[in-house]
Amino acid sequence: MNPVIGIIGGSGLYQVDGLEDAVWTAFDTPWGAPSDDLLIGTLGGTRMVFLPRHGRGHVQTPSTVNYRANVAAMKAAGVTHLVSVSATGSFREDMAPGHFVIVDQFIDRTFAREKTFFGPGLVAHVSVADPVCPRLSAACAEAARQGGATVHEGGTYLAMEGPQFSTKAESHLYRQWGCDVIGMTNMPEAKLAREAELHYASVAMVTDFDSWHPDHGNVQITDILETLHGNVGRAAAMVAALPGLVGASCGAGCATALDHAIMTAPDARDPDMITRLSTIAGRVL
């Protein structure tokens, strides 16, 4: 089966240039509407689906983004490989503003979001020990390099609730934990992508040094936006290079994550939940 690439664009990335026969298409899901319509077209002969995470015009906060609807809409649109592109702060001197980090681990410090498609009447526990697809992540790294970015492969993403930035004490604490970048949107997105059996990769575009760096002062939105504008061009080039690099399967079990995850006995499953989850978990239900 040919891959269908989904792109969730973070701050500054609100469209994908170069899509052929592109149409903004409305979707609804059992969890409500996604952040915006989905832009569906082809790029390099590959079907591609784009969704601005915060909506066009940036109308959703990190906490009000409907993460379940976003991932469910991508799944309903046929997406098999989902790439998250997001702006982040950095906790490392060598991961400087303008660099791209291909995230491979997360620490989830969010607390005001729905984090699973499952629930009473249909309970499931998926593994997120290795939360990203290694093959898709490698493709993103190569595509980003082709797009002119300085790329770091591997990094731990601290997901904070927001919308405020970190205090200095928090910033220093997260550095002590061994975190590499900080953002507000990759959780629960990554967990939901795993429940939806999607290949998932996270590309962090560094915009600042959070508030720990003694020579760079506190995080200012004006500085972030200036760096972000430069990153967007490199992100667009990365997306354009992806179709030729993404393979159909990774061999890491992304597409079979639900094989042993559902705990509720078949005769105890809520019929309404089965219907609700038909798009997400229909393969195993």
Beta strands in the chain (DSSP E): 5-9, 20-25, 38-43, 46-52, 81-90, 100-103, 105-108, 151-153, 156-159, 181-183, 199-208
For residue 223, pLDDT over 80 is answered with no
Compute the half-sphere exposure of residue 97: CA atoms within 13 Å on the CB side of its CA.
15
Residue pointed to by tokens 């409907």: 66
Which pLDDT does position 231 carry in this prediction?
A: 84
- Does the annotation mark 210 as catalytic? yes
Give 172-196 pLDDT, tens digit per residue: 999 999 999 999 999 999 999 999 9
Name the average pLDDT for the chain: 94
The residue ranking higher by pLDDT, 26 or 2, is 26
Identified catalytic residue from 130, 208, 215, 272: 208
* 70, 53 Cβ separation under 8 angstroms: yes
Span 19-26, average pLDDT: 95
| Residues in contact with 97: Cβ distance below 8 Å, sequence separation at least 6, in sequence order | 90, 206, 207, 208, 209, 227
Enumerate the domain spans of the chain. 5-281
For residue 218, pLDDT over 90 is answered with no
- Does the annotation mark 104 as catalytic? no
Express as a percent the part of the chain with pLDDT over 70: 96
Which pLDDT does position 216 carry in this prediction?
A: 65
This prediction has a pTM of 0.95
Fill in the DSSP letter of residue 250. -
Give 240-274 pLDDT, tens digit per residue: 999 999 987 788 999 999 999 999 999 999 999 99
Which pLDDT does position 217 carry in this prediction?
A: 61
CATH class, range 5-281: alpha beta
For residues 205 and 191, give the distance between their C-alpha atoms in angstroms, rounded to a whole number. Answer: 20
Q: Looking at the DSSP assignment, which residues form a beta bridge with residue 254?
A: none
Span 81-92, average pLDDT: 96
Span 109-121, average pLDDT: 98
Which pLDDT does position 219 carry in this prediction?
A: 59
Q: Looking at the DSSP assignment, which residues form a beta bridge with residue 81?
A: 5, 199
Return the biggest CA–CA distance within the chain: 62
For residue 228, pLDDT over 80 is answered with no
Identified catalytic residue from 94, 130, 210, 223: 210
For 55, counting Cβ atoms within 10 Å of its Cβ (0-12 exposed, 13-18 middle, 19+ buried), the class is middle
- Lowest mean pLDDT of 1-5, 137-141, 218-222, 257-261, name the range: 218-222
Which pLDDT does position 221 carry in this prediction?
A: 65
